[in-house]
Amino acid sequence: MKTTRKKLPGVGVAIRTFRQNAGLSQDELAGRMDLSTPYISMLESGKRYPSIEMLIRVALALGVRPGAMLDYIAERYIPDDTNGGK
């Protein structure tokens, strides 16, 4: 039985946001990680989805805590409950 995974476009948005905040181009990030620039582009555009290991590698290459990147992604999908659920 095949299970389907829900794709989260926020992953690519997070990678792009953190890369831009680090002042790096896609080419520079790819060079830091020994990956191709098109692969970084596919991650950012949502055409490819990274494994958790790759997401950790990306975060570390950008100089951020992997947890900070995961928090950023999660915040895009967790409803804001600041009004007590009303």
What digits encode the pLDDT tens for the residues 46-79?
A: 999 999 999 999 999 999 999 999 999 999 887 7
Of 83, 8, 1, 4, whose CA–CA distance to 48 is shortest?
8
Rounded Cα distance, 16 and 21, in Å: 8
pLDDT at site 60: 97
Under DSSP, is residue 77 helix (H, G, I), strand (E, B) or coil? coil
Q: What's the whole-model pTM score?
A: 0.82
Residues 6+ apart with CB under 8 A from 13: 44, 76
Domains, the chain, ordered by start: 10-75 (1.10.260.40)
pLDDT, tens only, 18-49: 999 999 999 999 999 999 999 999 999 999 99
E strand or H helix that includes residue 32: helix 26-33
DSSP H stretches of helix in the chain: 10-21, 26-33, 37-45, 52-61, 66-75
